[in-house]
Amino acid sequence: MSENILIAAGFGGQGVMLLGQILATAAMYDNKHSTWLPSYGPEMRGGTANCTVVISDELIGSPVTDSPGELIIMNIPSLLKFEPALKEDGLLILNTSVVDRAPQRKDVEVVKIDANKIAEEIGNTKISNMVMLGAYLEKTGAVTVESVEKALRKKLTGKKAALIELNLKAIEAGMKLARK
């Protein structure tokens, strides 16, 4: 049985919620079970936001966890909050454009991504979340890239549809970086 339990966390506006939704939706297209659970409340407005995504071949019990297997960390407060909880041998993907300090844990795999810089190079800092998602896909293989693309097309409609190609480029760049 394969199971991924991810917490993605950052400032409101960095797109961690969308990242999680795209991932959970892609899992559905891969015929897997998935849940997306956001933190919600006043912190959504500018403070720290996070979501928990569970992807599994089996029916999902808990959509919450004390010990995620994977972290996508987009800011320092989130690193402080979630690093201690990460499972042993877990995966920590860090946006080093924002987080200018090193993680403490030695028993986990750390992948450092200069996500904002890469996003800017592609054309829009707002897609740093997709660079991070790309790195996650490369490291975990939790869902297929085809399904991620399908999820993006489902989610980004109307005016936002023009951004799909840009998002896909960002994902590709993230995957490439994580491969190194």
Alpha helices in 102-163 (DSSP H): 115-122, 128-140, 145-155
Q: Is 76 in the site for other proteins (CB under 8 A)?
A: no
Long-range contacts of 36-40 (CB under 8 A, 24+ apart): 37/63, 37/64
- In the bound state with other proteins, the residue whose beta carbon lies nearer, of 63 and 123, is 63
Which of these, 66, 99, 102, lies nearest to 85 by C-alpha position? 66
| Structure-token pair, residue 81 | 């909050």
Which of these, 26, 16, 25, lies nearest to 131 by C-alpha position? 16
Q: How far apart are CA 59 and CA 161, in angstroms?
A: 32
Q: Is 146 in the site for other proteins (CB under 8 A)?
A: no
Inter-residue contact 82 to 73 (CB < 8 Å): yes
Residues 6 or more apart whose Cβ sits within 8 Å of residue 106: none
Shortest Å, Cβ 69 to other proteins: 13
- Could you tell me which residues are beta bridge partners of residue 94? 73, 112
- In the bound state with other proteins, the residue whose beta carbon lies nearer, of 61 and 158, is 61
Span of 31-39, 69-77, 138-146, 159-167 interacting with other proteins by CB under 8 A:
31-39
- Fill in the DSSP letter of residue 30: T
Q: Is 63 in the site for other proteins (CB under 8 A)?
A: yes
Q: Is 24 in the site for other proteins (CB under 8 A)?
A: yes
In the set 2, 13, 67, 161, which binds other proteins (CB under 8 A)?
67
Q: Is 25 in the site for other proteins (CB under 8 A)?
A: yes
Span of 59-67, 95-103, 106-114, 172-180 interacting with other proteins by CB under 8 A:
59-67
Q: Is 21 in the site for other proteins (CB under 8 A)?
A: yes
- In the bound state with other proteins, the residue whose beta carbon lies nearer, of 21 and 75, is 21
Return residues touching other proteins (CB under 8 A): 21, 24-25, 28, 33-38, 40-41, 59-67, 151, 154
